[in-house]
Structure 1
Amino acid sequence: MTAPAADDGPLPLPARWAALTRASAERTVASAPALLQLAVAVTIAYALAHFVLAHPYPIAAVTVTLSSLGLVLDARPRRVAETAVAMTVGIALSEVILLLAGQGLWQFAVTVLVALTVTRFLSPVPGLPILAAVQASLVSLMPVPAGGPFTRTADAVLGGLVALACTALIPRDPRRAARREGLKFFAAFTAILSSLVTVLRIGDQHTAELVLSRARGTQVLIEQWRGSLDSAVAIARISPFLRRHRSELAELQTMQLHLDHAARNLRVISRRLSVLGDGHPRPELAELLAGILSATALLGQSIDRPELRPVVRQSLVLVAIRLDPRVLTPGQPFAEAALVLSIRPLVLDLLAASGMPLEEARRTLPDITT
């Protein structure tokens, strides 16, 4: 019996602590722009409410600003505005009930129920009614401020406006987040392609089944990339500092859309290889996928270096013109031809992701209808 590999068991405690510390440090550094934006925004909101509006305790301005901006990846102006509006509605409803019915147990219960109901009616986002109810609860339980009714509503409006202004004027450089999410996707995508090349070269059925499982996990990564890009595009529309990057972000959105399709097609190829289960090497197909792998790696680098995309297109065209099952798998069972046919949409999507129009990309594939 062979001894287990040294890395099969759990990491030693010092190594786990080191990994956790490293992850914490990376998380903090990645969030540094958001942390700075939050600190500046909440200070501005407090200063305006306290010194300009003369509100001694502008709690609503502070909480609405912080909650509207948050630390989430999606910092789109629409999301910031929705959060600010929901919290302001909760505060305003609570002040109305306080003005009409006063403070007490049943008034508190009515306040929470009304805030939850109204904001749930206004928004499909499940977390917003909770934020509104929290703010309504604070207003219902705390003493009425010296400024009189709707002082806290004014603070909430101010906090929301400050949050929106800081989204445009102190942006978190959403391009960095979009780049990070895009590179994470490419790392997973190319790793799967590399494993498929190995499967085709040596006919490793066990690896084929593992690759299929990993391929299914790419959908989460592509969705995260899409969310970060959508956020970046939305912020670039209102930020004078990011407006010049709108065309670059639009190109990346197009790339992400076609890579979403490519990831789905990669799962189809993985599934076909897993189902074949014969363990036979297929060196010609391995060579083709190796060419796709090389081009995809360059496509990932083109996030930072767009000048690489023509090279990517040339490499993929050289693969595309060979994708004829009558040439690659003559006289083979239908399953072999189906495997070649499943690679064609993958190459088509990668060509489109590199910037080639779809119709032009289709013309690079051999005609198999005759």
Structure 2
Amino acid sequence: MATRTALAGVRPAIERSLSRTVASLPAVLQIAGAATAGYAIAHFALGHPTPIFSSTVAITALGFSRDARPIRVAETALGIILGIVLADLLLLGIGRGWWQLFVVLAVTFLAARLLSPSVGFAAAAGVQSALVTLFPVVSGQEFTRVLDGLIGGAVALVATALIPRDPRRAALRDARLLFDECTESLAAITAALRIADADTAVRALSRLRGTQPLVDAWSTSLESGAAVARISPFLRRHLADFDRQRRVQRGMDLATRNLRIIARRVEFLVPDGRERPELAELLGTISECITLLGRALRTPSLFEVARRDLTVLAKHLHPALLDEPSISETMVLVLIRPLIVDLLTATGMDEDDARALLPPLPA
């Protein structure tokens, strides 16, 4: 039994590792191809015997970062080249040794922090300046390393455009994680209202409080994907898809914030032990609409279906929808109204038009 339990705990970790490996395959091919191309250009075309930096610059500039924007790749490459240039210049004046390594790194870090607020920029410059200081070089070839670095940076930028990592898939994966978390949390809130279970409400609130990193990850993927698509001839036709996803992401960002407030209110509401099937049914319907919205990212025709269902909901969001509601129950319904507006804007409806659908509240 203990062995079976241990294996059950290991299996999800193995599945996550395999999933991460498969998802990294496009990045692996891109980085390996760029590093090899940089080496080949410097070695065979320019005759550099060991063009280490043409490969290391390409590898470091591309990396496995979620942010694959060309500006980020270029910034990293420039940081690396800065480290190489400063190290070469300083070593010409002070020679090599243990204390020279300290001086080179200190100057490189200070210069990098002066030029850029990015800690990655400074780290990239420092690593390369250390390599230049520690690796011997043949006399007369000191500045070939700068040329190798420029080749590596240029190859990394070309690879970003010509060997893209399919940023659409990464963005859709991040979107799916957020939608799954929202629908599962809503299912928990619905159950808490239906059976008056305070523990379930607490768990739902805890899950929703952890959704902001998912929202931010999706936003980063979209910004990166759109930036790559603007320079890639293979992805430019998908810019409209990124714009549509960005609209949905903005709506879901606001919607998750409202869901947290609703979950907090429900957590306060259910300890009285009273079942609330009407509110549960309402939130269950909203969960179905959110599921439709998530599916619409792959099947855009479903946006119209989600908009239609949300429009029907919006028109009925009045305290009269509930049977003799308490003040607390009315508050939950009032909090649902801006949530519906956020979801309608995610479908493409104008915010003012969405607000106009809501019935006026009694004075």
Name the SS of the counterpart of 2:96 in structure 1: coil
Spell out the pairing of 1:60-139 with structure 2 (5 A cutoff): 60-139=53-132
Which of residues 283, 286, 289 in structure 1 aligns to 2:283? 289
Q: Show the counterpart of 1:318.
A: 312
Task: Tell me if structure 2 keeps the 8 A contact 1:291–1:316.
Answer: no
Q: Show the counterpart of 1:183.
A: 176
- The answer to whether structure 1 residue 59 and structure 2 residue 52 are counterparts is yes
Q: Show the counterpart of 1:3.
A: none
CA drift at 1:148: 2.1
Q: Show the counterpart of 1:301.
A: 295
Instruction: Give the TM-score normalised by structure 1.
Output: 0.94
Name the SS of the counterpart of 1:12 in structure 2: helix
Counterparts in 2 of 1:191 and 1:50: CA distance versus 1, 3 Å: same
Task: Tell me if structure 2 keeps the 8 A contact 1:298–1:312.
Answer: yes
Output the CA distance in 1 between the equivalents of 2:268 and 2:9. 38
Output the CA distance in 2 between the equivalents of 1:288 and 1:13. 41
Task: Please list the CA deviations of residues 25-59 of structure 1 after superposition, one character each: whole Å capped at 9, or x if unmatched.
Answer: 21111111111111111111000111112111111
Counterparts in 2 of 1:11 and 1:323: CA distance versus 1, 3 Å: farther
Task: Please list the CA deviations of residues 37-94 of structure 1 after superposition, one character each: whole Å capped at 9, or x if unmatched.
Answer: 1111111100011111211111111111001101122111111111111111011000
- The answer to whether structure 1 residue 168 and structure 2 residue 164 are counterparts is no
Return 5+ residue gaps in structure 2 as ranges: none
Name the SS of the counterpart of 2:151 in structure 1: helix
- Matched to 2:356, the amino acid is R
CA drift at 1:147: 5.0
Q: Show the counterpart of 1:42.
A: 35
Q: Show the counterpart of 1:279.
A: 273
Which of residues 260, 263, 286 in structure 1 aligns to 2:256? 263
Counterparts in 2 of 1:179 and 1:147: CA distance versus 1, 3 Å: farther
Output the CA distance in 2 between the equivalents of 1:279 and 1:269. 18
CA drift at 1:146: 5.0
Name the SS of the counterpart of 1:144 in structure 2: coil
Aligned residues: 362
Output the CA distance in 1 between the equivalents of 2:183 and 2:339. 13
Output the CA distance in 1 between the equivalents of 2:324 and 2:296. 40
Instruction: Give the TM-score normalised by structure 2.
Output: 0.95
Counterparts in 2 of 1:168 and 1:107: CA distance versus 1, 3 Å: same
- Matched to 2:241, the amino acid is E
Identity rate, percent? 46
Name the SS of the counterpart of 1:93 in structure 2: helix
CA drift at 1:149: 2.8
Q: How large is the RMSD of aligned CA atoms in angstroms? A: 1.7
CA drift at 1:332: 4.2
CA drift at 1:131: 2.1
Task: Please list the CA deviations of residues 118-137 of structure 1 after superposition, one character each: whole Å capped at 9, or x if unmatched.
Answer: 11222222233122111101
Name the SS of the counterpart of 2:133 in structure 1: helix
Which of residues 134, 142, 146 in structure 1 aligns to 2:135? 142
- Matched to 1:25, the amino acid is L
CA drift at 1:173: 0.4
CA drift at 1:12: 3.0
- The answer to whether structure 1 residue 212 and structure 2 residue 193 are counterparts is no
Q: Show the counterpart of 1:156.
A: 149
Output the CA distance in 2 between the equivalents of 1:170 and 1:15. 38
CA drift at 1:369: 6.3
Output the CA distance in 2 between the equivalents of 1:315 and 1:358. 16
Task: Tell me if structure 1 keeps the 8 A contact 2:278–2:322.
Answer: no
Output the CA distance in 1 between the equivalents of 2:268 and 2:293. 29
- Bigger drift between 82-91 and 20-29 goes to 20-29
CA drift at 1:367: 1.6
Task: Tell me if structure 2 keeps the 8 A contact 1:211–1:270.
Answer: yes
- The answer to whether structure 1 residue 229 and structure 2 residue 218 are counterparts is no
- Matched to 2:299, the amino acid is R
Output the CA distance in 1 between the equivalents of 2:281 and 2:17. 41
Output the CA distance in 1 between the equivalents of 2:123 and 2:58. 16
Task: Please list the CA deviations of residues 286-323 of structure 1 after superposition, one character each: whole Å capped at 9, or x if unmatched.
Answer: 22112111111111111110000000011111111111
CA drift at 1:350: 0.5
Output the CA distance in 2 between the equivalents of 1:57 and 1:347. 61
